[in-house]
Every structure is written in structure tokens, then in C-alpha cells.
Amino acid sequence: MEQLKLIALDEEDLAVVSSLLQDAVMRVGDMTYVPGQKRFAAVLNRFDWETATKQGGKDFRRRRAALRFDRVFGARLKNVKPGSERVLSLLAVRFEPSEAPGGHVTLTFSGDASIQLQIECIEAELRDLGPAWRTRSKPEHPGGESGAGSEPGANGS
């Protein structure tokens, strides 16, 4: 299984990154914003949707991955306490343009938590950090039936 290494430079690229990170889990303590470097970075465990869909929905895996955003000028947290051991489940990564090419990238988590990054432009990287491991279950979404719109991309996300 090949490891991902993706660069996102526009909204379309970021949508691909978002779909690959849907249902990733991470500890709040595994992310950081470094204003002096204008960088936000996080290490997370992403659900391997590619394998799950190729193997007929019976082989579920997660793998460590790193997400990095450069050219970040600010970060606003909602229901996220820096340095805590709380585990967050990532639902989506979205871009809202303002003064081109800048805007805001919002990482939306379950439990009404989010991180909004003020960015000069979209400059992000998603990189797998190691091998995958098996997990017993596939993430489920309220109201979603298995195989009926509950997987990334099923509803255009």
C-alpha cells in the first residue's frame, strides 16, 4: 500500500484532502500553531477510505498522517482547549475566500468544535507517516446507512 503525499494549492485540492481526512481522529495535544513560522501542523490517525472501498467494505484500516498549513496568520479555536488530551474526530476541511488569494480554512470536528485558520493563500500538505493498521469498524454518520451516502464523496464531499 502506497503512502499518500499530497500538496493542496487551491480549493479543489483542499477538497481532496478533506475527503481523505474525513473521520480522522487526533488528540488536541497533537496539533500546534507556530505564529513565528506562520504554520499550523497536526498529526492524526486517518481512516483509510481508499482501502475500505476497494476491499468491499470489510478491510478497515487507519494510518498516521501529518497535515500542515503554511502562510497562516491567525488561528481561532471553538470548543478546543490547547494542550488537552481530548480526542477530536475531523468531519471536514473547508476554505472560505476573502481577499484573493487569502481567506479562512476551517477544520470542523464533531462535538461542535472547530479551528479556523486565517491564511494568505492555500498552501497545505498531507503526508502519511507510516504503515496502516487494522481497525474493527468503519466510521458511521448519524442518518447514514452503510453504503448509502455515508462514505466520503458520496454526497459530493
Q: Please report, to the nearest 10 degrees, the dihedral formed by the alpha carbons of residues 126, 129, 131, 137 taken in order.
A: -50
**Nearest C-alpha neighbor of 123 from the set 60, 62, 49, 39:** 39
Query: Is the model more confident about 138 or about 78?
Result: 78
What is the per-residue pLDDT for 156?
A: 38
Instruction: Answer yes or no: is pLDDT of 126 > 50.
Output: yes
DSSP-derived 3-state class of residue 21: helix
What is the per-residue pLDDT for 145?
A: 44
What is the per-residue pLDDT for 143?
A: 59
**Quick one: pLDDT band at residue 141, thresholds 50, 70, 90?**
low
Cα–Cα distance, 117 to 50 (Å, whole number): 28
**Nearest C-alpha neighbor of 115 from the set 146, 93, 131, 139:** 93
DSSP-derived 3-state class of residue 40: strand
For the segment 46-63, the average pLDDT, to the nearest whole number, is 80
Cα–Cα distance, 81 to 14 (Å, whole number): 25
**Quick one: pLDDT band at residue 153, thresholds 50, 70, 90?**
very low
Instruction: Answer yes or no: is pLDDT of 56 > 90.
Output: no
* pLDDT tens for each residue of 10-51: 999 999 999 999 999 999 999 999 999 999 999 999 998 877
What is the per-residue pLDDT for 138?
A: 82
On average, the pLDDT of the chain sits at 88
**Quick one: pLDDT band at residue 152, thresholds 50, 70, 90?**
low
